[in-house]
Amino acid sequence: MKWKKNSGQSPDGTPDYDEAVRKNRIRDITGEEKESRPRSGKKTIIILASIAALSLIAIAVLVFFIYKKPGSFLATTGEKQVEAPFEEKARTYAPESENLHIKRGMESYAKGYLNDAVAEFNEVLESDSTDKDKAIALTYLGMISDDRGKYRDAIEFYNRALTYDSENPEIYKNLALAYRHNKEYDQAIESAKKSISLRGNDVNTRLLLGNIYFEMNRYEDAINQYRRALDIEPDNPSVLYNLGAALMKQGDELSALEYFKKAGASDRIGEIAYKAYSRLGVVYTERRVWDLAEKYLKLAVSLRPHDPVGHYNLGIAYLRQNRNDEALKEFVQSEDLTRDDQVMLESLGEAFLSMKEYDHSLTAYNKILETSKRNVRILSRIGEIYYEKGELDLALEAYRKITMVEPATENARVAYINMGNIFDDTQQYDAAIEAYQKALSISDRDDGAYYNLGIAYKHADKPDLAIDSWRRAAELNDNSPKAPMALADYYYEKKLYDLAEKEYQRILQKWPAIQEAHFKMATIYYKRDELEFALKAYARVIEINDKNDLARKALINSAVIVSKRATDEEGINKARDMITKALLIKPGDAETLFSLGIIYFKQEMYDRAIETFYQALKGSREPSLVAEAYNNIGKSYYQKKMYKKALQAFTRGIEEDPSNEEIRLNRKTASQAYEEELANE
């Protein structure tokens, strides 16, 4: 049988496996890849550097609210320890008095008519009222000042009140609260202790003193006061919860959880129960105790079904269990219940984004923009989402808005870089160059921007400017090999191997463990037919990391060299062992299986060759490789003198690659042999 004459070289200049057999060679893998940008596989849209972006749900954090004072909430993320949430309410002071102005003042205060209350209490002070009534009036004036944030005025009123009623525990308690609000903690503690000394069985003052210690990070003292309060009132929900919070601060999570449970059971359906169950759900979610996490988060939702936070936290628990449908349902419910809470909306946006629910994420972020149109962090997120969706015009619009909202800032610089990446993706190279230059006009010390600019110049076929940009990037950051690698790779791609070799050598002198540089050096040697140097370089690739794809390619290319030079069975077996190792790195890889099939063919193990080529067919949809596999199956059958099967295989190869003239000639030869076989029967 005559096979089509072979030039002895593959199209890329790599020596064929066997010059006597057309394309019967191990497939050379160059490992060449497109350049990448900083922080990218696919080009990464860079999050604004001036903002610490919220974590995605792969490392999800829970949002929970901390009760600071009635009606006041603070949203946090990722905080395992919670502030003492429930405060003693000092505004329950309702002393008895027959003074008409006192009664009217107290009534106005209760209704929130503070100016009227002040007028009434001042009437008391300006009259010949009793010392007790004047003490009451001054105490209320102190409370009003404290409510208005005028803490120093409040302190003055309380001290004046004490001149009329020096043994009144309520005045000392309110004075302690005012000192605390004014961050005068030592005086606050002294006043609270005085109140306790006058009325030792008052749970609320013990709670206040514990909270003062808590705020000062004196958790052991806080715990002591909470425990003494529980001695007086063991089932007080506020004290139980705050004790749990203080124990959390000390790291005693197990004890804290028990007090949260007691607080919830004691309060049953109130605000403390809701917070306790929410907190339990958060902690159990963080601990991945899913049954308890769901139990308590569902209890919290049942108590406050219209609170978006409960639904959000339950969604996080589902998401961490990969129960995405249930998580999405809770997040959507939370979004429906959230109006203008920007923290909650941003958390939802992040949750949706982590699930690639881009439309929901956009809805949440756009709600934020309704009241905060200049929020560059959200504009950046929106740009990122549109980029991921492939809606590049909308992504560009978001980044342009950032440059208009904050021109000539760091945020604008990052936005210009992202715009440059998008323009480069869409082959608008001049626009990409302009965007990178605008970024550099804001700060010309960014090596990443110069690196990207170099790539854009390269794509725009302006190699001199590309080289200058990469050299500038390397000057700005001599601790990064990216720009030197881009320059070396450019020379390599242009087949300027001498220049490429010099650059790779410089890189490897400074960064000897860069696997890709060793691989490219090996391939340069390989193309020059300097096979000993190539084998050593490929061996170094494998030595650096014998488990990744570059190692697989190095093993295959080493097998190419070894099989080419093989003069006996031992050499062929060595090449086969290399291919087998490559398959361990990526089982079922079509390229590697094809190469193994060639080895078996060389060893005249035709059945094994046929089996291996068929395995390669299963792992590839590349028409040229599939056609070559059928071609080699046909040649294996031909060697076995099974001409009909050979003819069938060649026919399939032509169907896959009609332009392959070699397979057509091989099919013709097999057809002739099959006809002769039939004629001789």
Please write the tens of the pLDDT for every residue from 296-323: 999 999 999 999 999 999 999 999 999 9
Name the pTM for this structure: 0.71
Mean pLDDT, the chain, rounded, equals 87
CA distance 64 to 330: 15
**Above 60 in pLDDT, residue 396?**
yes
Per-residue pLDDT at 29 exceeds 80: no
Given a cut of 90, whether residue 90 has pLDDT beyond it is no
What residue type is assigned to position 309 of the chain? V
Q: What is the pLDDT of residue 94?
A: 82
Q: Kindly report, residue by residue over 232-271, the tens digit of the pLDDT.
A: 999 999 999 999 999 999 999 999 999 999 999 999 999 9
Sequence-distant (6+) residues with CB within 8 A of 171 are 135, 139, 158, 161, 162, 165
Q: What's the pLDDT score for residue 286?
A: 95
Q: Are 242 and 223 in contact (CB under 8 A)?
A: no
> What token pair was written down for 187?
């005086």
What percentage of the chain carries pLDDT values higher than 90? 81
Per-position b or e across 540-549, b if 16+ CB within 10 A of its CB? bbbebeeeee
pLDDT band for position 32 (cuts 50, 70, 90): very low
In the chain, what are the domains? Answer: 82-250 (1.25.40.10)
Beta bridge partners of 69: 72
Q: Is the pLDDT of residue 38 over 70?
A: no
Mean pLDDT in residue range 20-31: 34
- The Cβ of residue 304 has, within 10 Å, a number of other Cβ atoms equal to 18
Instruction: Answer for the pair 381, 365: CB distance below 8 angstroms, yes or no.
Output: yes
Specify the pLDDT at position 44: 55
Cα(481)–Cα(504) distance, integer angstroms: 10
CB-based contacts of 78, cutoff 8 Å, min separation 6: 55, 61, 62
pLDDT(393) > 90: yes
Residue 72 DSSP one-character state: E
Q: Are 381 and 366 in contact (CB under 8 A)?
A: no
- Residue 9's φ and ψ, nearest 5 degrees, are -135, 145
Residue 34 parent element (H or E) = none
Q: What is the three-class DSSP state of 32?
A: coil
Angle at CA of residue 109, ends 105 and 111, nearest 5°:
120
Give the per-residue pLDDT at 84. 56
Instruction: Show Cβ contacts of residue 667 under 8 Å, excluding neighbours closer than 6 positions.
Output: 634, 647, 650, 651, 653, 654
